[in-house]
Amino acid sequence: MPEKRPEPFGNMHFRVEIDGLHETRAVEVILPGARIVVAEDRSRRVHCGPLILRRGMTDSRAWYDWWDRARRSSREAGRSVAVVLLDSGGRDVQRWSFGGCEPVAYLLSPLDALGNAVLIETLELSVGAFEMS
């Protein structure tokens, strides 16, 4: 049995995997909150908040094109998205899997002629299902 790690993991080593997209590098991920919602009949379901992905803008249009297809289509098929936490050696240590993800917002950071910051592309996704492994 592997020895338990006493120290918490850092939040800076991770990768994002999106079904059907190859350019998925991200510099920031805001994981969704998940709440148990109890209906009047006492049935339970889980409601997930949005999954927010951010990356430096490049010549890749993959995120924009996915969002654009979703806004133009009456029924965009959801995709699976995984966020994988890595240890300092680059090994997978935790995986959050989100099913039925669809783009709901696409944003770019402000342009600023007086600054020198990286232009950030943001993709906000609705989440249909959530698992941690």
Q: Judge whether residue 108 has pLDDT over 80.
A: yes
- Domains of the chain in start order, with CATH, are 14-132 (2.30.110.20)
109 is written with which tokens? 């950071």
105 is written with which tokens? 């917002």
Whole-prediction pTM value? 0.89
Separation CA 14–CA 24 (nearest Å): 11
27-44: pLDDT as tens digits: 999 999 999 999 889 889
